[in-house]
Structure 1
Amino acid sequence: MYLEDIYYFWKMTYTFISRYEYEVIHIDHERREVWLEQTKGTITKIIRLKQQTFDWSNHLKRDQDDVAEKVKRLSKSLVGRDIRVHLVYISQFPPVDEWEQKPIHINNGRKSVRIMTYFVPQHDRERHLGEVYEALYIKDPPFSPESEEEMESNVPQLRRAVDQAIEQNIKSQQAVLSRGKPIFTYLLIALNVIMYFVLEINGGSQDTNTLIKYGAKFNPFILDGEWWRIASSMFLHIGIFHILLNMLALYYLGNAVERMFGSARFLVIYFVSGIVGGLASFALSQNVAAGASGAIYGLFGALLFFGLIYKKLFFKTMGSNIIGILLINIVISFTIPQVDIGAHLGGLVGGFLASSLVHFPKKRNLLTQTASFIGVLVTGGLLFYAGMQTNETYEPHTEIVLASYYQQEGSFQDAYEVADEAIEEHGNKDSILYFIRSYGHIQQDRTDQALTDLKRSVELNDQNDPAWYNLAVLYARQGERDLAIEAVQKAIDINPEAEDYKDLLNQLEASG
């Protein structure tokens, strides 16, 4: 009976959706074909219901081959590694000749795919349906057939019920992905861009001293109590490409995360990620650092947490792309020396923990959230402790940066003390440090020591034109005109655009 076939198709579809939590991933009303999915743990079950009769087994084989190709493509977006496909044909009778009932096995990368075929023909239909239930590990007894009148009236209702279930599932998925509006994402982008132009106007975003002055992460000042730099450095960027790449990432990732978690939770995730990333940078690197990368990696962590909670929806919408982009970025972080890998990985961990802490709207897990809160505190505490240990002594480059900053800001005594300690106690033999220390000697009228440091400076770096110029000034004060002319001429050779160098040379030549 053809009506009975149609009834069983829609009744089975509705039963699997409403009672056994299968999700429709494809439906064709005209051809009466539906694909259903259910994932539990590592096992994904696919039911492909088809209302069709095959006269011969070769026709069935062609359909099975088509299904196998579709499953290969579909398996890339499926979560489970063990994929079990159940082909259920609702037909008046099975093929008249023998057909292959053995499972079909497909190796598709790391995923195992097994395809099993069942017929639910008119003859003894309830028993055959029971076999399908048994294969799907459904313990409930299959539904019983109804009268022809009941089937005729129920088919339209079942069809509408299936459509409504599909529509409701789509709405619930959209609700998960759009719980908020990306207000703070745009505000953060605007704030970062404003601070970039502030840096450019006041010395340049690639100038180390300007970055330190405006709040970049600089370990010596953090140790002196300027802990706010851990947060302020999140809003500074080094160069046009740095700001463009980070703001592009913030635009896409921030949009997604703020919509999923809502604005308040998004802010918590963003700042916790940035702070944990900053602490990781403090612990693992003494370089001057700036940028929103830690917070942005935290947004990656938030999306991974989303994938943990909404695994099926994650892989259906963005999962493979997000994981691929994240892996590429981590590889780049390890291969490019200038990249602050500590901030990136710290932000990633911080973002995941912060997401678990705030969780999703209307979802609560007190145990997990408490553990995540403790995890944030422990992670931050360990990074703080590690930073205090690793920064007991400064690296040679950090000593140079610190002394240079004090020198540029006019704190000559501080610059002198840093340079002197670096040279005498730490053995840092850098041209810049000798040049800076010479200023301290000059201020204290120790001309001989100043000359010694300047000579050592140009010996270490004969392209240090300010050191040559200062040598010329000191020689001139001592009446050593020839040595002064020779020194200032070298400064001019290195930097022919410096007018004060030329003025000194003219004065020296005129005095002769």
Structure 2
Amino acid sequence: MFFLPLDSFNLNENDLVLYNWNFSGFIGSMFVHANIIHLLGNMIFLWVFGNALCAAIGNIAYLFLYICLGIFAGTVHMAFDAHPVVGASGAINGVVGMCVILFPKNKLHCWYFFALPFLWFLKAGKFAISTYWMVLIWLVFDILGNLGSPDGIAHYAHIGGLVGGVIIAIIGLKFKLIETPHQSVFDIGLSKNLGVAQYQLNAEAPSSIYEPFRHTKIENQTVEDKSLYPADTNNSRTSITPKKETINNLFPADTLSMQPDIQLKHCISNETTLTLYLVNNGAPLKFPKLRVPKEVKAQMSFTNLIRYKETGWIRFSTDNITIDSIEFLIYYVDSAQQQRKIRFRCVPAKSSLELISAN
């Protein structure tokens, strides 16, 4: 299957096959596949992992890195195998390698089926698996493939691309060239160093404090509800039982004297949808809850705990109202087991997040 118009580039089929270190093969082999099954298999992996990576680094950087990863994978293949090769799997494994560093704990939802027609047996279902487990299984497959007899698969290209992707992702995170709203391997390592444990919520605070409030500037019109803060808000408490850890483990000593410091890294807005990419540079926030304008729907990546230096996102959306300014509340439980709230205002046009109040 060919993706490049051969006549336009004055090439023939052999020029698009990687062999004998030919330069056109390094590029062309990424766009050529042996058959439709080969093509579809690669495109599924590219669709699953490529979309996530492209959303994190942007279209231009994604295309550039895809080509670089393909060349790197081809170089490793030629150095250790040197058999003629076609296919995008080397470059795609590079994309996968970057994803395992940027999104190691993200879940992959997989479908499967197993059939024995002569027994009239069919089994189908789905399961979820973390990114790093999927990649580890695939890596073991490639390693075993290199140790066994030749099977027509460019295992060295797969391994080379994967390693190249891991290296690029680590460099990108280390020098802050890549930002992700999800937990990267660096974030996971940091949370372990801080001794952060999991919590169990025994009793929810009164549900009224999580009801939507009506205070936002939408399409240059401000609507305010005087009952923004229910009377029981300041007196409400949440009962917390830490699992296996003391409160000092959950809030390390170097963060106990700090206050939460939510900062905006960048935002993406397209009129009716606004996504804020945030980082917490202060004390951890337990059980964060959003309170948003009545006209707005909200989602956030944070779950039971916003750790020190953890990154994440909050996404606001409306049905048909343009969001040019929005105010929202984050309720949380502090290290003293007290219910707190922080109020913010965001103006997408200015990429600004203003702290209005914290108490």
**TM-score interval for Structure 1 and Structure 2 normalised by the shorter chain:** 0.3 to 0.5
Higher fraction of helix: 1
**More strand as a share of residues:** 2
Q: Structure with the greater relative contact order (CA < 8 A, sep ≥ 6): 1 or 2?
A: 2
Larger Rg: 1
